[in-house]
Structure formats: C-alpha cells, structure tokens
C-alpha cells in the first residue's frame, strides 16, 4: 500500500527506457532539485554502453530521477539513499507505482551512511548533493569500499565550483555545464 506523502506536488518525467514518459512525484522539500531533463539526457548518453545490467547507488536521491532513469534503461538494481523520511516515502511510492522490484530505498544521513561496511559494491554511483552544503568531498573520501573495479561516478555541483573533489585513481571522462549546474563523469581504477 502506498504511503501517504503530505505536500507532494512536484513531478519529474522519466525520459527513456521502459518507463519513458512516466512521471515521478516528489515532496516540496528544501534544497531538493531534480536533475533537469537535458542534463539527464546527456548523462545517460554518456552511460549508454555501461547502464545495462549495472548496479547503481543514488546518493542524495531526492526525486529519484537518476536512479529510476537508470532502472528504466536497463540497470539491474539501484539503491536510493536520502536523509529525508518524507523523500524516502515518496521514493517508495514511486517504486511501487513503477513496480520497480530492483529498487531499494534507504533513509539515512549522508555522508555518515557511507562509513558503514558495504554489503555490496556498485558499478555506477550518482552523487548529487544539495548545493551549498559542501558534501561532495566528504562523500568522495568514503566511496572507495562501495566501488566495483572500473566504477563510474557521476557528480553534480553548482556551476561556480572551482575544483571537483577527486581521489587517487579517478579519471575525469566528461564534464559539462548547463546554467547553474556543473556536472561530470569519472571512472575509478581499482586494483581489486
């Protein structure tokens, strides 16, 4: 049975795959800003050769646009993590509406959640924290145990960010800017 989510009034459209044109609803929560369609289209063009069968982790999931888009386009699983109980309830409702059995929703504070011992590793990580919170670097420092060999990491930040956080073995593959949003995709070289 879907959760009753008060104040749900926002929507974002899935732009490709099996759920193309389906709408996700999400609550009006401060600092929640879904990745715009144009940026998602670019990102998933970048990811096209890697998305089928991948395991994904959507950190600061918010509307769930990135993770549900990945599942729609053939990702095997996606774990959505967000600190807002209201957002987590909306993600669970969207999971039920789409019958996305391979989606897992976790309500937990980030970056603290990343300090636990991982139960699995991921091929693709979406990292799109609220702007002005300086969460990118602290999350990146904790990602290594969560990453499969040759994992891809997508990051979004405010356009005035002067330098991306990076860890040893990370290679920037692509980077763009659209309006107030700067975004990039990294590949991680791991020995194991």
Q: What is the mean pLDDT of residues 102-107?
A: 98
**Confidence label for 9 from pLDDT (cuts 50, 70 and 90):** low
State the fold for domain 8-188.
Answer: Rossmann fold (3.40.50)
pLDDT above 70 for 67: yes
pLDDT above 90 for 26: no
Number of H helices, E strands in the chain: 4, 9
Q: What is the mean pLDDT of residues 126-137?
A: 84
59 close to 125: Cβ distance less than 8 angstroms: yes
Q: What is the mean pLDDT of residues 108-115?
A: 95
Instruction: Report the pLDDT value the prediction gives residue 132, as an integer from 0 to 100.
Output: 66
**Residue scoring higher pLDDT (122 or 32):** 122
pLDDT above 80 for 3: no
**Confidence label for 8 from pLDDT (cuts 50, 70 and 90):** very low
Instruction: Report the pLDDT value the prediction gives residue 5, as an integer from 0 to 100.
Output: 43
**Confidence label for 159 from pLDDT (cuts 50, 70 and 90):** confident
Dihedral, CA atoms, 137, 143, 149, 154, nearest 10 degrees? -50
Domain residue ranges in the chain: 8-188
How far lies 99's CA from each of 8, 53, 119, in Å? 20, 18, 24
Instruction: Report the pLDDT value the prediction gives residue 14, as an integer from 0 to 100.
Output: 94
Q: What is the distance between the alpha carbons of residues 5 and 91, in angstroms, rounded to a whole number?
A: 10
Q: What is the distance between the alpha carbons of residues 64 and 174, in angstroms, rounded to a whole number?
A: 22
CB-side exposure of 145: number of CA atoms within 13 Å? 9
Give the lowest-confidence range in 1-15, 49-63, 131-145. 1-15
CA-closest candidate to residue 174, choices 44, 36, 46? 46
Q: What is the distance between the alpha carbons of residues 178 and 36, in angstroms, rounded to a whole number?
A: 9
Q: Mapping DSSP to helix (H, G, I), strand (E, B) and coil, where does residue 26 land? A: strand
pLDDT above 80 for 91: yes
């Amino acid at each position: 049975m879907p959760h009753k989510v008060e104040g749900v009034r926002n929507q974002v459209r899935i732009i490709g795959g099996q759920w193309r044109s389906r709408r996700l609803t999400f609550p009006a929560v401060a600092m929640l800003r879904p990745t715009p369609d144009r940026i998602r289209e670019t990102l998933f063009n970048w990811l096209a050769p890697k998305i089928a069968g991948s395991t994904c982790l959507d950190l600061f999931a918010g509307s769930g646009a990135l993770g549900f888009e990945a599942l729609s386009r053939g990702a095997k699983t996606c774990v959505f993590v967000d600190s807002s109980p209201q957002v987590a309830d909306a993600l669970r409702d969207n999971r039920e509406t789409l019958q996305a059995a391979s989606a897992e929703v976790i309500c937990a504070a980030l970056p603290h959640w990343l300090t636990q011992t991982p139960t699995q590793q991921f091929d693709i990580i979406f990292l799109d924290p609220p702007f002005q919170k300086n969460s990118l670097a602290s999350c990146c420092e904790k990602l290594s145990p969560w990453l499969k060999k040759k994992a891809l990491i997508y990051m979004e930040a405010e356009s005035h960010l002067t330098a991306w956080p990076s860890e040893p073995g990370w290679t920037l593959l692509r980077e763009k800017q659209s309006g107030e949003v700067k975004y990039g995709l990294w590949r991680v070289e791991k020995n194991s």
